[in-house]
Structure 1
Amino acid sequence: MARISLFFWGILIMGCWAAIVEAEYMKYKDPKQPIYARIKDLMKRMTLEEKIGQMSQIDRIVASEEVMKKYFLGSVLSGGGSVPAEKASAQTWIDMINGFQKGSLSTRLGIPMIYGIDALHGNNNVYKATIFPHNVGLGASRDPELVKRIGAATALEVRATGIRYTFAPCIAVCRDPRWGRCYESYSEDHRIVQAMTEIIPGLQGEIPANSQKGVPFVDGKFELISNYSPIWLLVMRDGLGRPVRKTLVLLKNGESADKPLLPLPKKAKKILVAGSHADNLGYQCGGWTTTWQGLSGNNHTIGTTILSAIKNTVDPTTEVVYRENPDPNFVKSGEFSYAIVLVGEPAYSETFGDSLNLTILEPGPATITNVCGSVKCAVVLITGRPVVIQPYLSTIDALVAAWLPGTEGQGVADVLFGDYGFTGKLSRTWFKTVDQLPMNVGDKYYDPLFPFGFGLTTKPTKAT
């Protein structure tokens, strides 16, 4: 009888042990198993509540470790300007995300959450991030390999904050500049937009040839960087000048090719810099910078304004005078060798940027008239799209479309003063009047101020 009892208990214990082992083994957590087998195993284990939670994404302002655990949430995002703290460090971002992840991993199935962010032109929500030119300018570069490198640089900075998911790129083909998201589009031509999708392998890494189609791919080559080191930032910003330079489009350069104004001489007795966008890093970067709509001013991120870049570039003996909106008498009496006027649009994004008139921000038109009517001038437009410029064109000696160049204004000065030549070509048709819109290359009635693909060139020179 004792032997039977012992045998019975042995069988029972072995059965329980086998059940425990079986319960502990979860196929969906086994990386050696095929991906679809893991998905199937996980799906059959999930309750309805868990499935609903996994399909839900919330903003970080309502997320917490407890919320993630209670509702089985699959994703958290930072909407435009949704940050853990003002001017938060990379480590602060990492600590916040790790807290949310701790809640997700403590659920019954331990499914990690995915954190997403709008890294549209660099990791633009994050303080001290490198802000690259917006897509409208990158389209003017016609350089897919450059855009790919920008994607890789953006991936590094996004990963540095503990994030592996960006809501980018925008591959819309904007056919009407009155749309507030037009600067997120590389071009009105789908072929340029298609070419610029090279940013995707830049962001996520090259997809192996044997990779399964339809399965999300994330390359593991980017190591997580715990903080933005000063040396790393310096290297990134040194490399930012090239993309800025390649986005600039020269639309006018003197009355004839024989008498160009650009490149400007670095050595002059006195020069005037004017306009609302000369010393405004917020306008220079545009929307989706620090906040959803972007900001005006110089204390929201770090970088080089175009005014500062001009001062850094000219000869030390050249006097640089800055007035945001000088009156004609001041300009006439100033004995300036030449003037640089920087005007454009305010920062905006999405529907807040929808515009029926596409005019330059006041007092921009008056600044152009006051300055260019009295001295030789180069006008630099800081805009996310073509704007109304025809009424002032006759008074302007040189006209440059700089789009939204980002934090490195030095790239603009590099080309204005001839350290590098102009090479950019319009990726959008520049209209004469808004009554012509929408108007795109290939249209039957095509009568632009500057046609798609237009862009004058200059050669680098040692300007004196």
Structure 2
Amino acid sequence: MIALAASIYSCSPTTANDFNNIEKIASSNLSNEEKARQIVQKLTLEEKVGQMTQITLDVITKGKNAFESDEPLSLDAKLVKEAIAKYKVGSVLNTANNRARTPEKWNEVITMLQKESMSEIGVPLLYGVDAIHGTTYTAGATFFPQQIGMAATWNPELNRIGSEICAYETRASSIPWTFSPVLDMGRNPAWPRIWETYGEDVYLTSVMGAAAVDGYEGKNNDLTNKNAVASCIKHFVAYGAEKSGKDRTPTYLPEIELREHYLPSYKAAIDAGSHTIMINSGIINGIPVHANYKILTTLLKEELGFKGLVVTDWADIENIHNRDKVSATHKEAVKLAINAGIDMAMVPYNYNFTTNLIELVNEGEVSMERIDDAVTRIVQVKLALNLFDKPYTDIKDYPDFGSKKHEDAAYKAASESITLLKNNKNILPLPKNAKVLVTGPNANSMRTLNGGWSYSWQGEKVHEFTDKYNTILKSIQNKLGKSNVKYAAGLEYVNDGQYFEEQNINIQEAVNAAKGVDYIVLCIGENTYTEAPGNLDDLYISKNQEALTEALAKTGKPIIMVLNEGRPRLISNIEPLAKGVIHTYLPGNFGGDALADILVGEVNPSGKLPYTYPKYPNALTTYDHKPSESSEKMEGMYDYVGSTSIQYPFGYGLSYTDFDYSNLKVSKSEIAGDESFTVSVKVKNSGKRDGQEVVQLFSKDLYASVTPDVVRLRRFDKIDLKAGETKDITFKVFGKDLAFIGQDMEYVTEKGDFKLYVGDQEVDLKVTSTVKFPKNSNKGIL
């Protein structure tokens, strides 16, 4: 074994003639698929396996070790040479020291890496980062709301624009690949990554995900456009369905549930043309997804027809051995993952993957056909991005980086995401001469506005990069005047990594500060986190925050409760104490400004909840639950809204104006199972303010061979209505939209009776024939 490993690098490297041939192939008029196939044939086994290897940036920088880089950041020429010349590494990811860099520094680093790769291998590197709500690891970039907030806008076009801006600013740093969007389902409120999702509904997630792919990759997915990046839909599949609600713990999932609620969002993004996909780090029914051939090849590559690059998540091939105990050695873990369908390994700290995989090929345990397939997929993405011709960019070609135009779009997204949940006796908007106390641990923090994946992984470094932006406190001071605004935090979050601990608890100071004010704006929620550091044992908001709320309520001053959190922390013990409740989610750098404008009525709130907000820990439900899960008799859509087991329902959100619905009609009262029809409704702004309304179409299957969901979202549209204005809204619907996964794992629309709901209107629909819509491949993948 040792002798074999030592001889690996004695093979002849790519020759100058091969370099010329690769360049010639890359610049030819052949299809990218054929170009990639021919380029792969020019590579040695070592170079092919290197293409499949992805390391993190800290491995090749000057520093104490592979986990810590020196500052200021610089590449280590010897380590770069080792990675690219010796191990032929084809991809690098992440930032160094978990810290954002300027676009100038990014261009410097990536230009050097690309020059080394082109001179040593003739194939460019593929650099990737988690640019998930803006160019996450770049100083000065424009930050949008996190995905859960973008879902709360119910505005796919805003989501497309945000992704387009993120792509532009990411490519400005010579980074052509973003690990986004997340198309996991946020169906368990305890899960610490729920804020990275588009919420609990698979249709809303599918629409938003497809819009994000369109924004990242541009028109017709033309990645040769210097403003586009390759998207990476993640984490395939059913990540977030963990039984415990804790990150990367086991999932037990029947195939019927996977196909009904977890798979369609990925299919929508694949159909939208996404070039790459990242795999679920967890275990489904006892098998690590990274080692599951039926999921990675049978389902993803064969049934869904995904032709792009399949990349692991962080160290997940090693986890097959280290954590999941499915393989006795790391080498066996590599064999399982590559044979299952993995194309690129996010290693990320060593080169054992390359050594092991080369040995496995030489021993006949992994076929050259599988290697060539993987590398062809990788090279195709590099060709699509035009990296062979232009492996790096120049910041001078991106004059709109961090521009006012981009910031205005981020502000608009934040303002449309913020959701008004309670407004007793129209306590809001506040008068502009109001005297207010701003209090709570989230009141004066840019960190909590942005959340994780903001300048650093856990978001703890936000304060180093956000001097020019406004916290909630500063925004309210700017709006009402400093003389009208008092501030006393009451309590603060620990800022050294203990993300859920609180300190400087001085509730009495906040109570004393309430003297002489008209209103209390109480900003509560969570500190930043993601992944395992965000695991919770108790979904209730902290006892300290409850105590602060209760003490302030005793002052008799009306409380406006501002929720700044990544998931719905339970507030049932204190929500009755508030006259108004506003949910900001994680709105980004312009969230404070947007909230202040909503508080004083300069912006009419239009956000709607993308998940069900639970009331109790034993009542964690989704809107599309089964009839037997209901605590009340469910006859129609709006019985769900009145349920006593939830705080606020999915799709809910108030406005400063009123909207009336009337005249709901279907073009046909009876349809065949595969027939199309239209649904129309009149919507009137009957109030005195202009506003935006999200018109939502739900369906209810009254009886089915598999117990149906209570209701399902089928269409939505966000519209602008001036005061007194009426609009006719029409949705085109297909029989397949009413389908569900049957007992044979096929989509079926069954004949029978349905109800359709829009607003407070409902109409009957009859399906007269049963139609099956077969999937493309095998059954029984789980």
Normalised by the length of structure 1, the TM-score is 0.85
Matched, 1:276 2:441: yes
Please give the alpha-carbon distance, in whole angstroms, between the structure 1 residues aligned to 2:473 and 2:400. Answer: 24
Is structure 2 residue 43 aligned with structure 1 residue 46?
A: yes
Give the alignment partner of residue 394 of structure 1, picking from 576, 579, 584. Answer: 576
- 1:65 counterpart residue number: 80
8 Å CA contact retained: 2:200, 2:622: no
The alpha carbon displacement at 1:415 in A equals 0.9
Question: 8 Å contact 1:204–1:219 — kept in the other structure?
Answer: no
Q: Aligned residue for 1:441?
A: 624
Provide the residue aligned with 1:5 in structure 2.
none
How far off its partner does 1:339 sit? 1.1
Structure with bigger strand share is: 2
What is the distance in 1 between the residues matched to 2:606 and 2:221?
A: 34
2:168–2:398 Cα contact (<8 Å) kept? no
Answer whether contact 1:87 1:127 (CA < 8 A) is retained: yes
Q: Which moved more, 1:369-378 or 1:148-157?
A: 369-378
Q: In the alignment, which residue of structure 2 is the partner of 1:112?
A: 124
1:355 matched residue in structure 2: 536
SS at match of 1:273: strand
Answer whether contact 2:152 2:608 (CA < 8 A) is retained. Answer: yes
Q: Retained in 1: the 8 A contact 2:128–2:178?
A: yes
Shift in Å at residue 438 of structure 1?
4.6
- Secondary structure in 1 matching 2:214: helix
Counterpart contact for 2:90–2:125, Cα < 8 Å: yes
Alignment of 1:38-437 (within 5 A): 38-63=35-60, 64-66=79-81, 67-78=83-94, 82-83=95-96, 88-107=101-120, 109-197=121-209, 198-207=211-220, 214=307, 216=381, 217-218=384-385, 224-226=394-396, 232-254=402-424, 259-268=425-434, 270-295=435-460, 298-302=463-467, 303-314=469-480, 316=481, 318-325=483-490, 326-327=507-508, 330-331=511-512, 334-361=515-542, 363-374=544-555, 375-408=557-590, 409-437=592-620
Corresponding position of 2:670: none
Tell me if structure 1 keeps the 8 A contact 2:442–2:524: yes
Deviations 1:139-197 (CA, angstroms, capped at 9, x unpaired):
11110000000001101110121111000000111210111111111010000001102
Q: Per-residue deviation at 1:25?
A: 4.1
Task: After TM superposition, give the deviation of residue 443 of structure 1 in Å.
Answer: 3.4
Using a 3 Å threshold, how does the CA distance of structure 1 residues 437 and 322 change in structure 2: closer, same or farther? Answer: same
Distance 1:21 1:72 in 2: 18
Distance 1:280 1:231 in 2: 25
Q: Give how far 1:261 is off.
A: 0.7
Q: Greater RCO between the two (CA within 8 Å, min separation 6)?
A: 1
d(CA) in 2 for partners of 1:241, 1:455: 19
Instruction: Give 1:412's aligned amino acid.
Output: L
Identify the range of structure 1 (50-59 vs 131-140) with the bigger mean alpha-carbon deviation.
131-140
Residue 22 (structure 1) shift: 9.8
Alignment match, 1:14:
none
CA positional deviation for 1:357: 1.4
Deviation per CA, 1:213-248, whole angstroms, max 9, x where unpaired? 84655599x985349869843332233211011111
- What is the SS of the residue equivalent to 1:389? coil
Greater shift in the superposed pair: 32-41 or 120-129: 32-41
Residue of structure 1 in register with 2:650 after alignment: 452
Per the alignment, residue 3 of structure 1 pairs with none
Aligned residues: 431
1:31 aligns with 2:28: yes
Q: Distance in 2 between matches of 1:333 and 1:304?
A: 23
- Determine the C-alpha separation between the residues in 1 that align with 2:18 and 2:139: 48
Give the partner amino acid of 1:88. Answer: R
Secondary structure of the residue aligned to 1:92 is helix
Deviates further, 87-96 or 281-290: 87-96
- Does structure 2 retain, via aligned residues, the 8 Å contact 1:283–1:295? no
Offset of residue 23 of structure 1: 8.9
SS state at 2:569 partner: coil
Residue 126 of structure 1 aligns with an amino acid whose one-letter code is T
Unaligned 5+ segments in structure 1 are 1-19
8 Å CA contact 1:281–1:296 kept in 2: the answer is no
CA contact 1:139–1:186 (8 Å) conserved in 2: yes
Deviations 1:107-140 (A, max 9, x none): 1x41000100000111112222222111111111
Distance (Å, rounded) in 1 between the aligned partners of 2:426 and 2:183: 37
CA contact (8 A) 2:19 2:122 kept: no
Which amino acid in 2 is paired with 1:163?
I
Matches of 1:85 and 1:393, distance apart in 2: 37
**For residue 172 of structure 1, what is the amino acid of its counterpart?**
D
Q: State the one-letter code of the partner of 2:429.
A: P
Measured in 2, the distance between the counterparts of 1:295 and 1:85 equals: 10
Q: Relative to 1, partners in 2 of residues 1:227 and 1:218: Cα closer, same or farther, differing over 3 Å? A: closer
Report SS of the residue matched to 1:236: helix
Give the aligned residue type for 1:200: V
Cα distance between partner residues in 1 of 2:116 and 2:27 = 21
Residues 386-443 of structure 1 deviation map (CA, whole Å, 9 limit, x = unaligned): 1110100111110111101111120111111100111111110011111122544333
Query: Which deviates more from structure 2 when the two are superposed, residues 112-121 or residues 452-461?
Result: 452-461
Ranges in structure 2 where 5+ consecutive residues have no aligned partner? 1-15, 61-78, 223-272, 276-305, 309-380, 491-506, 631-644, 658-687, 691-782
Q: Secondary structure at the match of 1:193?
A: helix
Distance (whole Å) between structure 2 residues aligned to residue 333 and residue 411 of structure 1: 24
- Give the Cα–Cα distance (whole angstroms) in 2 for the partners of residues 407 and 336 of structure 1: 28
TM-score (norm 2): 0.52
Do the aligned partners of 2:489 and 2:510 also contact (CA within 8 Å) in 1?
no
Q: Quick one: which amino acid aligns to residue 116 of structure 2?
A: G
CA contact (8 A) 1:94 1:161 kept: yes
d(CA) in 2 for partners of 1:161, 1:329: 44
Query: What's the Cα RMSD here?
Result: 2.9
Q: Distance in 1 between matches of 2:597 and 2:509?
A: 28
Q: Judging changes above 3 Å, is the alpha-carbon distance between structure 1 residues 224 and 365 closer, same or farther for their aligned structure 2 residues?
A: farther
Q: Tell me how far apart the structure 2 counterparts of residues 208 and 87 of structure 1 sit (CA, whole Å).
A: 28
Q: Tell me the distance in 2 between the aligned counterparts of 1:309 and 1:321.
A: 13
Q: Is the 8 A contact 2:510 2:552 kept in 1?
A: no
Aligned-partner Cα distance in 2 for 1:317–1:329? 17
Offset at residue 295 of structure 1 (A): 1.3
**Alignment partners' CA distance in 2, 1:193 and 1:85:** 29
